[in-house]
Amino acid sequence: MSRIAHLPRPHFDAARRGRGRISLIGAGPGAADLLTLRAVRCLGLADVVFYDRLVEPEVLTHVRSGATRICVGKEVGAHAWPQPRIDRAIVAAALEGRRVVRLKSGDPSIFGRAAEEIAAARAQGIEVEVIPGITAASAAAAELCRPLTERGRIDRVVLATATCRTDDAPPDLGGLVRPGAMLVFYMAMHRLGALSEALAAAGLGSDHPATICAEVSRPQARSLTTTVGRMAGDCAAAGITNPAVVMVAVAKAPGDGTPGLLGQGRGRTSTAAGSQHDPLPSGV
């Protein structure tokens, strides 16, 4: 049976009724001026902020004076705080009546383990809200000045993770690699070889273009245009590592002859045969 529900509009500064609240805030890809106004307001009201290692120091300047700041040190492949410890800590702070912010890079709802933190809060009857942030895929497309979709060529965007648990089977990308798709892989830099093999098994040739965008929106932002078959070696040679996203376009039609949406760009210098490396423009 269908049901219509009005979505609540949470207010972080509402009466706490003896309990705190938890706000999961997306800090975006890096640059502090990409924070939403709601995120800035909540940071200014927080009593305690649990933040990831990838959150830029400039973002933390929006936290009010006197608030407690705790780095939980999370990054791909190196978790200073295991997720269960983070869950317990944010819940404990909220049960003390504190206004808690869990500050994550990117968007909390996209590979940010927000589901576990929401569940932990709700299990204790704590109000929780999610404030979205700009995800790396959107930020990378903006800095490259190349849209994620294009009428007649790219009609869907797939956000996927290349990082799996050790007991997971290798990814099967056969259902994703279809004409009209823009594929964006997160947390892929430690598994580029396996990703190349999975893309090849799904039908992409080794010479199919791929673009890697690293440190998006930060002063040290870089991009590398390479191919599916060469991306692991080219990234290693260029010293490109996390945080980064891998973008692969599977366009419906050749159009102007450029491969996918990620063709030639401005100001590139060659780093390896068949690959190009260029700084991303700043000041978006």
AA letter at 163: T
Q: What is the mean pLDDT of the chain?
A: 86
Cβ within 8 Å of residue 256, ≥6 positions away: none
* pLDDT surpassing 60 at residue 91: yes
| Arithmetic mean of pLDDT, 138-152 | 95
In one-letter notation, the amino acid at residue 13 is: D
To 5 degrees, how large is the angle CA 45–CA 50–CA 185?
115
Q: Catalytic annotation on 52? A: yes
Helices assigned H by DSSP within 32-135: 37-45, 57-60, 83-95, 114-123
Domain 21-131 has CATH 3.40.710.10: no
Cα distances (angstroms) measured from residue 194 to each of 58, 177, 240, 250: 35, 16, 17, 19
What whole-number distance in Å separates Cα of residue 271 and Cα of residue 278?
9
d(CA 268, CA 161): 28
Single out the catalytic residue among 33, 47, 52, 256: 52
pLDDT at 13 over 60: no
> What is the pairing mode between strands 99-104 and 181-186?
unpaired
Q: For residue 170, name the pLDDT band (cuts at 50, 70, 90).
A: low
Cα–Cα dist 52/54, whole Å: 5
Please tell me the pTM assigned to this model: 0.83
Give whole-number Cα distances, 146 to 14, 49, 58, 140, 160, in Å.
41, 35, 27, 9, 19
Could you tell me which residues come within 8 angstroms of residue 269 by beta carbon, excluding any fewer than 6 positions away? Answer: 276, 277, 278
> What pLDDT score does 19 carry?
79
Instruction: State residue 48's pLDDT score.
Output: 99
Pick among 3.30.950.10, 3.40.50.720, 3.40.50.1700, 3.90.550.40: CATH of 136-279:
3.30.950.10
Q: Say which of 13, 33, 47, 74 is annotated catalytic.
A: 74
- Give catalytic status of residue 74 as yes or no: yes
Give CA–CA dist 253/270, Å, rounded. 28
CA distance 279 to 77: 26
Residue 73's pLDDT is 84
The percent of residues in the chain predicted with pLDDT above 90, rounded, is 74
All CATH 3.30.950.10 domain ranges of the chain, comma separated, are: 136-279
Query: Could you give the 3-state DSSP secondary structure of residue 50?
Result: strand
